[in-house]
Chain A
């Protein structure tokens, strides 16, 4: 299922869902520190990547649909009364399983970066004060 986003039959093994697509990973990272609505996810991704990644509505909600079907994220209802907020917006958050999937993907990427550094294909981080 990895690389095809997440969807179809549910699995209980986070490893079955990785590697995640770029869109799915960005959605999970946006939700890692709290629940957000769709536009909030878009803004978080844009700010975090310095504008290099901009999720369009089609990409975002395609990913949300599959992540929800896979049990990786869940809806946490709608909000009302917040100024400027629209009551029709739905908020999403990571499930416990979603946290495991994100951790497994980050670990996989970390391994890749460490391997790249070992091979000199990636600049080593500069020591503090250098």
Chain B
């Protein structure tokens, strides 16, 4: 599926212009110094792919390049803006915008409401991670926070998308709000102290398991996908994540208490 040479040149030119506009994701310093050369290189890569594999090659190049651009732009910005919370928020907003490009390109059926909800969820999770990581804990502490937040993110996302107990509009799914409430309340009580965070996450895992038990006892959602086995597997998955997070917090607490965690105010 190869276009004519003039068509290839036009496609390479359009791709170069699109890539130039995306270069704004990089810090100005890098962009000013190397932006022109980066765009030239990308144009050469486009020509090479179009010549070798046609439109499919160009699509594959774009997929690789967008992923690389997101990663390297965040890396470059992190090195420039390290340690500044305001700048971290900017980075999260940027990452959120980039992640939303995926459904924008791949899922045209998404409504404005879907984008707003997804954006708020991704941005909120990112901010929460910055808050946890900002407590200055060790790697285990940060990893524990990341696992817990990833679990909470997936729990909300799956519920909104397809539902865990039956369909998304099945009332029983509202029980998962209780699971998140247990986790959030636990974090407030723990005031980010690792041992207490471990207990909070264990309580969250228990709440998650309790929801599954209630659903199975009362036969909630058993007549529609994902079915009883699906409910068990999905809840088991989330229980595992919360327990893993709790164990990591416990491990982190054995090493040392993160600076600022547990302080009044």
Contacts and interface: CB of A to CB of B under 8 A. Distances in A.
Interface of A: 7, 37-39, 42, 54, 56-62, 64-65, 86, 88-90
A38 B44 CA distance: 10
B38 A58 contact: yes
A58 B37 contact: no
Interface residues of B, number: 24
A57 B41 contact: yes
B255 interface: no
Interface of B: 19, 26, 30, 33-34, 36-42, 44-45, 64-65, 68-69, 71-73, 75-76, 79
A38 B33 CA distance: 13
A61 B44 contact: no
B40 A58 contact: no
Contact of A56 (B34, B69, B76): B69
B68 A62 contact: no
A61 B68 contact: no
A38 B73 contact: no
23 contacts: A37-B37, A38-B37, A38-B38, A38-B41, A39-B41, A39-B44, A39-B45, A54-B64, A56-B69, A56-B72, A57-B39, A57-B41, A57-B68, A58-B68, A59-B72, A61-B30, A61-B37, A62-B75, A65-B33, A65-B34, A88-B37, A88-B40, A89-B40
Contacts of A42: 41, 44-45
A58 B42 CA distance: 10
Contacts, number: 58
A113 B26 CA distance: 37
Contacts of B65: 56-57
B91 to A, nearest CB: 15
Listed from nearest, the 6 A-B pairs whose CB atoms lie closest are A58-B72, A56-B68, A57-B38, A61-B34, A39-B44, A57-B41
A88 B26 CA distance: 20
A7 B78 CA distance: 14
Contacts of B38: 38, 57-58, 60-61
